[in-house]
Amino acid sequence: MTTSSQTPRPISANRPGVDAISLSVLWNTLLSIADEMGTALRRTAFSEAVREGDDFSTGIFDGRGRLIAQGNFTPGHLGAMPYVIENVLKFHAPETLRPGDSILLNDSFLGGGHFPDFFLTTPIFRQGRLIAYAVTTAHQVDMGGAAPGSQRVQGITEAYQEGLRILPIRVVREGQFDEDLMRMILGNVRVPAKVRGDLKAQLNANYVCGERLGDMYDVYGEDQMTRTIDAILEHSEAETRAILARLPQGRYEFEDFLDDAGPDTGPIRVFVAVTVDDTGVEIDFTGSGGTVQAALNSYINYTRAYGVFATRCLTEANLPNNEGSFRPIRVKAEEGSFFNPHFPAASGGRAAVQIRIFDCINGAFAKCIPHRAMGAFSHWANPNIGGVDPRSGKPFIMYDMLLGGYGGRATKDGVEAMSPVMNCSNIPVEVIEHNNPVLVERFSLIPDSGGAGKYRGGCGIRKDVKVLAEGAMLTLLGDRHNIAPYGVFGGGPGAVGQSLVISGAETRPYGSKEVVILKHGDVVSLRTSGAGGYGDASEREAAAIQADLADGYVTPAGVRASYWHDVTEKP
C-alpha cells in the first residue's frame, strides 16, 4: 500500500518540526484508524450489546502511554481508557511486552467501573520497538456472578458477588488466545460463545490498528510521527484551555439525588461544585453520598470519564479526545465515597449513574453558561432478563436499553428518544424476538411525560415485554422513579418513571433497581421518566402547543395541567 506513497514535504514550520498541513492530515488519519477499529469490532462481534447497541470503544495510545486518538463511541469507556492503560503497564512493564501479546483486564477499580467492560490492550511493535498501544473496550453481555448480565444492584454488597474479576493478564500470546486462560474465563460466564466472539472481535480491531499505524510510520517515519503526536497533544491542550478561559470564572454548585440503591434504601446525594479559574475547570463531587452497600458505586475512572465528558460537551471544548484535551479538566471525589469507592465496593449497575453525573454538572454550568444548559434527561433503563429459552433449552440473556428524551434547550425543545450521554443504539424489537423467548407488546413514547416549559423536555419511553420462559430473572436498572428530572430557568420537571410487572390480573410496581423472578407470561412494563423543560411554560408559543397536541406528545388534559390553555377534549 505504501509503494508509491510520498511523504509530503514539511513546509513552513510554525511549530518546531510540524506544520499545520501535516498536523491536519496526520491527525485525520489517526482518527480514521480509531473509526476503522470500531468498524472491525462491530462487524465481527457476537453479542447484541456490541453489534446492535454499539456498546464498545476504541483508542490509540503512543509508546509512552499517552492517549492520541479515539473513535466515536461510548464516553464511559473512552474516558476511562487513559487510566486503564496506566494500570495495565503497572502490571506489565513495557519492556516485558512482546509482539503478538494482548493484555485483558476487567477489574472495576483498575478498569471501567464494572466487570462486564473488557479492556484489551495490544502493544504495537515496529522493527522490534514498541511504538504504540491499541486499546478496545466492549461491554460483555455476562461476566457470571449473581445475575444474568452481571448488573444486579439489589443484594450485592461486594464485588466478589459480581462475577469473574480479571486483573491484567496476558490472554493472547503470539497472536493466539491462551486457551488455558480462556477456559477459565469462559467457564465462569453464562454465554461463553458470545464472550469469546466479542473478545475475538476486540482482538481483530486491535490488529487493524497495528496494521494501519505501521503503514503510517513507514510513510512518515518515526521522528515525524513523534513530533506530530506531541503537537496534537500540545495543540489540544492549548485549544481546550483557550476555550475554557472564555467561561465566566467562579464556583457553581448543584445538588440532585439518585432514587436509591435498591429496595429499602434511601436517596443518594449527588453534589457537584464546578470551579472555573485560570487553571481550567475542576469538577468536585465532595459532599456527595458515601459508598453504598449495593452494586451502584461509581469508581473514580467512571466518575472521571463522565465528568470530563460532560464538561467538554457543555463548554464546547469538544476537540477530539486525547490526553491533551482531557488535561485541563480535573475531576475529584473523596476517597471511599460513592463517586470514588475502595475495592471491593460493588458496582455492576453503575451505568445508572452516568446520566446523573452529566445532569448534575449541567445544573451547575447552567449558572455559568445558560445558553448551553438543558433540562435534565429522561433517565434510561438498562434491564437484563435471563433464564432458559424453552425453545432451545439453552440460557438466554436479553440485554436491553430504553433511551428516552433530552431536556429542553435554550432555543429548542429537547430531542425525542436519543441516546443520552453514553452513545448507544437500541436493539430492534425484531432482533430481540428472534434471539429471546419474549414478545414485545409495546415500544412507544409516553405522552405528557416531557417537562413543560418554553421549550419542552422530551418524552419518556415505554416498553412492555411479555416473557415466554418460566422462572426468568429480571434485573432492573434505572432511576428517576422517585426524584423527577429537573427543569431549568422555570421549566417543569419530567414525569417520574415506573417499573411494573403485570402478572395475570395483578400489576405490581417495583423500585428502579430491584430483582424479580418472573412467571411464564408475565409482562414487564418499563416506563422511563420524561426530560425536564427549559424556561417558563407560560412563554411557550401557542403554535408549539397545538403542534404537540396534533402529534400526541401532549394530551388535552396534559395541556390543561401544564400550560393553562383552553383546550377542548378533541383537538
Partner 1 sequence: MIRIAFDIGGTFTDFVLHDAEKRVIRFGKALTTPRNLEQAVVEGVDAILAEHGGTSADVVSVLHATTIATNAILERKGSRTALLTTEGFRDVLIIGRQKRYDTNNMHLDKPAPLIQRRHILEVAERMDATGNVVVPLDQTGMSAAIEVLRRGDYEAVAISFLHAYANPAHELAARDQIARALPSLAISLSHEVSPKFREYERTNTTVANAYVKPIVDRYLASLGSALQSRKFTANLYIMQSNGGLVTPEIARAFPVRIVESGPAAGVLMAASVGREEGHEHVLTFDMGGTTAKLGAIDDGEPAITQTFEVDGIDNRRYSGLPLNVSAVELVEIGAGGGSIAAAHRSLIKVGPESSGAEPGPICYGKGGTRPTITDANVVLGYLNPDWFCGGAMRLDVAAARAGIEREVAKPLSLSLEDAAWGIHSVANSNMERAMRIVSIERGRDPRRYALVAFGGAGPLHAARLARKLGVPKVIVPIGAGVGSAIGLLTAEAKIDVAMTRILRMEAPIAPEIGKIFSDLQVRAERDIANLNLTGDVRFRRGAYMRYAGQGFEIRVDLPLGAIDDQFVAAAIGAFETTYKRIYGYADSGTPVEAIDWYLTATKPGIGGQGAVGRQLSSAHSTARQGVSTSRRAYFPEAGGYVDTAVIDRYAMAVGQTIIGPALIEEREAMTVVLPGDTATVTGNGHLVIAIGGVT
Does 554 engage in binding with partner 1 (CB under 8 A)?
no
Q: Which is nearer to partner 1, 143 or 346 (CB)?
A: 143
Please report, for residues 57, 147, 400, 468, the alpha-carbon distance to residue 397 in angstroms, rounded to integers and kept in the order given: 22, 10, 9, 13
Does 538 engage in binding with partner 1 (CB under 8 A)?
no
**Candidates 1-9, 114-122, 166-174, 177-185 — which segment interacts with partner 1 by CB under 8 A?**
1-9
CA distance 279 to 485: 32
Does 421 engage in binding with partner 1 (CB under 8 A)?
yes
Residue keyed to cell 478561559: 245
Q: Which is nearer to partner 1, 46 or 118 (CB)?
A: 46
Ranges within 201-240 binding partner 1 (CB under 8 A): 204, 207, 235, 239
Following DSSP, what letter does each residue of 407-422 receive, concatenated?
A: PP-SSSPPPSS---SS
Ranges within 375-414 binding partner 1 (CB under 8 A): 403, 406, 409, 412
**Candidates 97-105, 110-118, 297-305, 434-442 — which segment interacts with partner 1 by CB under 8 A?**
434-442
Does 1 engage in binding with partner 1 (CB under 8 A)?
yes
What are the backbone angles phi and psi of residue 5, rounded to the nearest 5°? -75, 155
Does 3 engage in binding with partner 1 (CB under 8 A)?
yes
Does 308 engage in binding with partner 1 (CB under 8 A)?
no
The residue within the footprint of partner 1, chosen from 206, 347, 426, 499 (CB under 8 A), is 426
Residue 538 grid cell? 407560560
Number of residues forming the site for partner 1 (CB under 8 A): 90
CA distance 500 to 508: 5
Q: Which is nearer to partner 1, 95 or 568 (CB)?
A: 568
For the chain, how far is it from start to end, CA to CA, in angstroms? 64
CB of 331 to partner 1, least distance (A): 17
CB of 15 to partner 1, least distance (A): 9
C-beta separation of 115 from 163 below 8 A: yes
Which 8-state DSSP code applies to residue 184?
Answer: H
C-beta separation of 553 from 447 below 8 A: yes
Beta-sheet strands, E only, within 459-551: 460-467, 473-475, 498-503, 506-510, 515-517, 523-527
Does 81 engage in binding with partner 1 (CB under 8 A)?
no
Following DSSP, what letter does each residue of 76-87 receive, concatenated?
A: HHHHHHHHHHHH
Q: What is the CA radius of gyration of the chain?
A: 24
CA distance 203 to 176: 10
Which 8-state DSSP code applies to residue 495?
Answer: P
Q: Which amino acid is present at 18?
A: V
Ranges within 106-145 binding partner 1 (CB under 8 A): none
The residue within the footprint of partner 1, chosen from 169, 369, 439, 544 (CB under 8 A), is 439
The residue within the footprint of partner 1, chosen from 392, 434, 568, 570 (CB under 8 A), is 434
Q: Which is nearer to partner 1, 266 or 428 (CB)?
A: 428
Q: Which is nearer to partner 1, 7 or 538 (CB)?
A: 7
Please choose, from the candidates 351, 352, 544, 563, the residue with its C-alpha nearest in 3D space to the C-alpha of residue 451.
Answer: 563
Ranges within 354-373 binding partner 1 (CB under 8 A): 358, 372
CB of 233 to partner 1, least distance (A): 14
C-beta separation of 109 from 343 below 8 A: yes
List, edge to edge, every strand of the sheet that includes 523-527: 438-446, 460-467, 523-527, 498-503, 506-510
Ranges within 21-50 binding partner 1 (CB under 8 A): 21, 23-25, 27-29, 32, 36, 39-40, 42-46, 48, 50
Does 430 engage in binding with partner 1 (CB under 8 A)?
yes
Q: Which is nearer to partner 1, 78 or 333 (CB)?
A: 78
The residue within the footprint of partner 1, chosen from 184, 245, 517, 550 (CB under 8 A), is 550
**Candidates 72-80, 97-105, 145-153, 342-350 — which segment interacts with partner 1 by CB under 8 A?**
72-80
Please choose, from the candidates 412, 427, 422, 520, the residue with its C-alpha nearest in 3D space to the C-alpha of residue 466.
Answer: 520
The residue within the footprint of partner 1, chosen from 161, 188, 275, 423 (CB under 8 A), is 423
CA distance 15 to 194: 48
**Candidates 160-168, 288-296, 334-342, 548-556 — which segment interacts with partner 1 by CB under 8 A?**
548-556
The residue within the footprint of partner 1, chosen from 445, 472, 473, 477 (CB under 8 A), is 445
**Candidates 19-27, 124-132, 163-171, 253-261 — which segment interacts with partner 1 by CB under 8 A?**
19-27
The residue within the footprint of partner 1, chosen from 9, 95, 174, 504 (CB under 8 A), is 9
Does 318 engage in binding with partner 1 (CB under 8 A)?
yes
| Torsion 433-436-441-446 (CA) sign | negative
Burial of residue 440 (number of CB atoms within 10 Å: 0-12, 13-18, 19+): middle
**Candidates 132-140, 189-197, 482-490, 528-536 — which segment interacts with partner 1 by CB under 8 A?**
189-197
Q: Which is nearer to partner 1, 238 or 517 (CB)?
A: 238
CB of 482 to partner 1, least distance (A): 25
